[in-house]
Structures are given as structure tokens and as C-alpha cells.
Amino acid sequence: MFSVAQVLGAMAGYAISPARDLGLSIIHYLIPMKTKGSSDWGYEWVPVFGSLAGVVIVTGVYLLVM
């Protein structure tokens, strides 16, 4: 049985952590190559702002419970 991440993710896997994906995207954008495709920055906000939103939500829940 496949998970949604395996089915919808790229061949190299999908990144849910900006520590794993943001640096590689920046390097791909900066290195000049003739046959390089698009850097596709359209999804890059998801791991960055998703992590920040998670921190805010968990902190709020912690402060409400404690």
C-alpha cells in the first residue's frame, strides 16, 4: 500500500522540511547550466511557512493547556 507522499511526491521524494529542500533549491537556482529546467519556486513557501505556522499553533496550545 502506498502513502499519499509516495504517490504525489517527486521521484526523489518530497520535502517537508526547509532544512532538506530550501538549500538545494537555492543552489539549483544559482548554478548556471544550459540544460537545466525551471527551479519551480511555486511550492517553496509550503515547508517554510508550514513549519512556522506549526510552531505558532503548538505554542498557543501549550500556553492554553499549561
pLDDT in tens, 29-57: 888 888 887 777 777 788 788 888 999 99
Global pTM? 0.54
Angle value at C-alpha 3, between 15 and 28, nearest 5 degrees: 20
Q: Rounded to whole angstroms, how far apart are CA atoms 30 and 36?
A: 11
Average of per-residue pLDDT across 17-33: 80
Integer CA distances (angstroms), 39 to 46, 47, 52, in order = 15, 16, 23
- Mean pLDDT for the chain overall: 78
Share of the chain above pLDDT 90, in %: 18
Residue 12 predicted with pLDDT over 60: no
Counting Cβ atoms within 10 Å, is residue 35 exposed (0-12), middle (13-18) or buried (19+)? exposed
Q: What pLDDT does residue 34 have?
A: 84
